[in-house]
Structure 1
Amino acid sequence: MSYLKIDNISKQYDEKNIALRQVGFALKKGEVVSVLGESGSGKSTLLRIIAGLEIQDEGRVYLEDEKILNPAEKLVAGYDEIKLIHQQYKLYLNSTVEENIGRPLLLYDKDYRRERVEEILQMLNLHAFRHKLPKQLSGGQQQKVAIGRALSIEPEVLLLDEPFSSLDTIQKRELIEELRHIFEDSDMTVIFVTHDLDDALLMSKKLFILKDGELVQKGAPRDIFRKPKNLYTAQLFSHLNPIPGNGEAFIRPSDVKIEKVDGRLEAEIISAQYLIHYTQLTVRLKDTDVIWKVEDQNRLYQKGDSIGLSFHEENIISFSPQ
């Protein structure tokens, strides 16, 4: 039985701007998923509709079989059970960290409010900053406070809309790690929206791919990586090398093996770029204008070298170009 059900949601702003096209999926309680897509693919609109903050044209959202009402159906839009967190922190600038976190609890018992704020401070490692104002915090710390405020009333569903886009790499990595532990220890259902594949992979074990408002593929990252349904989905994960003579077949750079002697194909190295875990070689296939990317794990090759290339048939990705 599904806990959160998104049932064929469609949204169109005008004739040229179709945000969502019959998007539907269901999540179990406690499931954490990432929605991945480029800017304008409908990710943020989807979250606002799920949260009951925007009116959809078609479809419904259900939480435990109860309809989520949109702003046209509800006097006050939104639900305490569903919290949406944006990349903009929207903190109270003249309130301290603990005051910001406790804001949603003002109508609760004073003792409970104090206890819950302490729990959140501990959960997000914010104790040392409890008396500071937002302007005294880093971007990562401010985002933690925004998340803490959303968590304070113990929502059933947490929606994260590109929450790390303004953070540097170190801040982002640390915050994702903390959130993963929090979600693993809770029974909260989480939908994380991003355009960054690495963030999506770090946050969850299940991906939903949006393209031009359509849900084009969903599943485990490994399954999507190996069997993408279209060119767009395939290219989210890596560059694709076209196989000569077959315009519908490709091989990923990571699936190409470099041979010191003759391989299946011969190539000349055009350039070599150091990328931490490997050196990316750009090569031209012999007697063609076809350019490939190849990963060199041993860093033994340089510009101008001739190399042989081979790959296994089962790693070929084939589909009609989109």
Structure 2
Amino acid sequence: MSYLKVSDISKQYDQGSDALVNISLTLEKGEVVSLIGESGSGKSTLLKIIAGLEVQDRGEVYLGETRILNPSQKLVSGYDEIKLIHQGNHLYPNSTVGENISRPLLMYDKAYREERVKLILEMLNLTSFEDKYPRQLSGGQQQKVAIGRAMSIEPEVLLLDEPFSSLDTIQKRELIEELRAIFDQMQMTVLFVTHDLDDALMMSGNLVILQKGKIVQEGKAEDIFRNPTTYYTAKLFSHLNIISDKEGAFIRPMDILIKNKGRNPGKVSEKKFLIHFNQLTVIMPEGEIWKVEDKERTCEVGEDIYLDWDKNKEVCLSFVSSDDLPTS
């Protein structure tokens, strides 16, 4: 039996529109999965249902053999075994780091409480900040305190609802790497929700992609990248250039070769300096606007270039419903 099992969950908003449609997924013990989707796709609603904090219209959630009851079925909603961490850290401003982490443990034995807080502080490299207040910490440190507080009562599952979106790129990258190592060490089961693919990939190579309340694809990131089943899924990983003479065929900017002569002529209309390459905007003969990666940084605006690519790297979506494909 799967450790965390979400089975056929559906939920409608009050106005009758679908928030979630027939959602089913499973996580094994110690597995870290990234759930990615655009704003309004139902990610936060799903996490609340999994945590027992939101009423679903249909479906069930199990942790092991325990059925997770929703607020209409349970006097006090929520479970200590499943902790949901939001974007806002909700720390107590007039309590120290140590006091914030120990709050869920107030009814526990004092010796255990002190031992557990010490362990969490050491694990998150917060020992030297134990007596500081949240206002004295960086955004990343505050988020670690919030996660430490959630972990203090030894939950079996962590649900992370875009907890790093307010952090800058460096803080976010360092914190995700640090937490991922801790999750691996503790064999913690984690479902991480984000709208940012880079964050999702840093946290986990296992992805679940949600669009308009439905799971459109799930699996290993590399498999999804190479074999997307929808235009939305394919577009998550990069811009897609439409190959005009092949219905439903696209080529990614990273897979295009720039040549001085040959087929597929185009003119560079714009150049942007990015970290690993110059991104070119290229106007093709039929007026299509393509994005191309100039890894050698040799092309200039106004230059005529020729493009080529390996046919095996084309993204084929000819089997996808026309409603899912772009109109231009």
**How high is the TM-score relative to the length of structure 1?**
0.97
Instruction: Give how far 1:304 is off.
Output: 1.6
Q: For each residue in 1:173-229, what CA deviation from the matched residue of structure 2 results, as whole angstroms up to 9, or x when unmatched?
A: 111011011011012110000000000000001000000000000011111111111
Query: Which secondary structure does the structure 2 equivalent of 1:118 belong to?
Result: helix
Query: Which secondary structure does the structure 1 equivalent of 2:144 belong to?
Result: helix
Match of 1:202 in 2: 202
Match of 1:280 in 2: 279
Match of 1:66 in 2: 66
Match of 1:12 in 2: 12
Match of 2:129 in 1: 129
Match of 1:49 in 2: 49
Query: Which secondary structure does the structure 2 equivalent of 1:26 belong to?
Result: strand
Match of 2:266 in 1: 267
Instruction: Give how far 1:243 is off.
Output: 0.4
Superposition map of 1:70-219 within 5 A: 70-219=70-219
The residue identity in structure 2 corresponding to 1:307 is: I
Match of 1:253 in 2: 253
Is residue 226 of structure 2 the alignment partner of residue 226 of structure 1? yes
Superposition map of 1:303-318 within 5 A: 303-318=301-316
The residue identity in structure 1 corresponding to 2:3 is: Y
Instruction: Give how far 1:40 is off.
Output: 0.4
Q: For each residue in 1:206-258, what CA deviation from the matched residue of structure 2 results, as whole angstroms up to 9, or x when unmatched?
A: 00000000000001111111111111111111100000233421111111111
Q: Equivalents in 1 of 2:211, 2:302: separation in Å?
A: 39
Query: Which secondary structure does the structure 2 equivalent of 1:314 belong to?
Result: helix
The residue identity in structure 1 corresponding to 2:294 is: D
Query: Which secondary structure does the structure 2 equivalent of 1:98 belong to?
Result: helix
Q: Equivalents in 1 of 2:98, 2:221: separation in Å?
A: 38
Query: Which secondary structure does the structure 2 equivalent of 1:79 belong to?
Result: coil
Q: Equivalents in 2 of 1:260, 1:218: separation in Å?
A: 40
Q: Equivalents in 2 of 1:261, 1:13: separation in Å?
A: 56
Query: Which secondary structure does the structure 2 equivalent of 1:244 belong to?
Result: coil
Instruction: Give how far 1:259 is off.
Output: 1.4
Query: Which secondary structure does the structure 2 equivalent of 1:102 belong to?
Result: helix
Q: Equivalents in 2 of 1:222, 1:104: separation in Å?
A: 39
Q: Equivalents in 2 of 1:221, 1:150: separation in Å?
A: 28
Q: Equivalents in 1 of 2:257, 2:2: separation in Å?
A: 44
Q: Equivalents in 2 of 1:110, 1:218: separation in Å?
A: 44
Query: Which secondary structure does the structure 1 equivalent of 2:95 belong to?
Result: coil
Query: Which secondary structure does the structure 2 equivalent of 1:257 belong to?
Result: strand
Between the two proteins, the alignment pairs up a number of residues equal to 320
The residue identity in structure 1 corresponding to 2:293 is: E
Match of 2:293 in 1: 295
The residue identity in structure 2 corresponding to 1:74 is: K
Q: Equivalents in 2 of 1:265, 1:245: separation in Å?
A: 11
The residue identity in structure 1 corresponding to 2:6 is: I
Q: Equivalents in 2 of 1:168, 1:175: separation in Å?
A: 11
Superposition map of 1:6-45 within 5 A: 6-45=6-45
Q: Equivalents in 2 of 1:242, 1:65: separation in Å?
A: 48
Q: Equivalents in 2 of 1:49, 1:316: separation in Å?
A: 39
Structure 2 regions of 5+ residues with no counterpart? Answer: none
Structure 1 regions of 5+ residues with no counterpart? Answer: none
Q: Equivalents in 2 of 1:66, 1:232: separation in Å?
A: 35
